Structure 1
């Protein structure tokens, strides 16, 4: 019985400590018009350069919503790092936050102008400024800290 209890405590403790070292949050790149539009040429070019933001760091998991523009933004990054793109539903970000925080390593998430700041806020537990519909070059890095996550808002230089 003690062995079973000790095993359960070990598993519980392991789950508590499981959390990504860093989380990169991107809004999809520039898009064309329409209901579920693909990326524009400028958007494709931006998506092709996202790997430059990682330096020596390799993501362990990549997530995207199931829209053409987000999948097309995540796809070159996934190909570059030899990963697949996992889709998530943006309608329940609180539940998705739990999924993300159960991961390890470096997690990349591609979302939208409304969901990306909201997800950053849910994870970092600090207010995050909304993202205008016309802004495609801002992204967030949430770095694991002693208490939660430290949030940085950055601009791409391309």
Structure 2
């Protein structure tokens, strides 16, 4: 009997404690989706597909800096020069290829489905336009964090959280890169 009792007392020393929970184990895993509008564009150079202005290039670099520690595994952009140029600094820093998507209703639904396949605990960037980024947030299942985006507003960075449980998505808005 004493031998069996001694063995039971030694088991935790040999195998560790039983089922300890750490904050990481308790914390639910989520996928984070960063949604931004392209940076400032130079419409006088090419009204159909304008490049970024110097301020826009600086904003694109600021975006890469703001998200440099984020576990970005995918970068999505519409097929315009201004959106791709906004995504490029971060894509290059994270060694990711920019993946195109269509910013219409079926395209946003397809994008949302692709994003939901992202591993939990990872993040993606989506670059769109003033008239599509709030729709992108909604396609991901979150309510709009702001009612509208003005044509002169470039600094919004939306953070959409997609819980692993399939529960409701949430979205918050902040600004980056200074200015509007």
TM-score by shorter chain over 0.5: yes
| 1:28 equivalenced with 2:38 (yes/no) | yes
Change (3 A) 1:100 1:78: same
| 1:47 equivalenced with 2:60 (yes/no) | yes
Gaps of 5+ in 1: 1-18
In 1, are the aligned partners of 2:40 and 2:55 still within 8 Å (CA)? yes
Give the distance between the partners of 1:101 and 1:39, measured in 2 at CA. Answer: 30
Give the distance between the partners of 1:100 and 1:130, measured in 2 at CA. Answer: 23
| 1:87 equivalenced with 2:100 (yes/no) | yes
In 1, are the aligned partners of 2:62 and 2:176 still within 8 Å (CA)? no
Residue 157 of structure 1: how far off its partner (Å): 4.6
Residue 125 of structure 1: how far off its partner (Å): 3.5
Residue 130 of structure 1: how far off its partner (Å): 1.8
Gaps of 5+ in 2: 1-28
How many residues end up aligned between the 2 structures? Answer: 140
- Name 2:150's counterpart in structure 1: 132
In 1, are the aligned partners of 2:78 and 2:102 still within 8 Å (CA)? yes
Residue 126 of structure 1: how far off its partner (Å): 1.9
Give the distance between the partners of 2:79 and 2:102, measured in 1 at CA. Answer: 7
TM-score normalized by the length of structure 2: 0.72
Residue 152 of structure 1: how far off its partner (Å): 0.5
Post-superposition Cα deviations, 1:6-64, rounded to whole Å, max 9, x if no partner, equal: xxxxxxxxxxxxx9610000100000111110101100011012122225323000000
Q: CA RMSD in A?
A: 1.8
Give the distance between the partners of 1:111 and 1:36, measured in 2 at CA. Answer: 14
TM-score normalized by the length of structure 1: 0.81
Consecutive aligned runs of 4 or more in structure 1 exceeding 6 Å deviation: none
Structure with greater helix percent: 1
Give the distance between the partners of 2:112 and 2:68, measured in 1 at CA. Answer: 25
Post-superposition Cα deviations, 1:92-127, rounded to whole Å, max 9, x if no partner, equal: 212221122122221110000011111112213324
Give the distance between the partners of 2:96 and 2:85, measured in 1 at CA. Answer: 14
Give the distance between the partners of 1:55 and 1:110, measured in 2 at CA. Answer: 16
| 1:75 equivalenced with 2:88 (yes/no) | yes
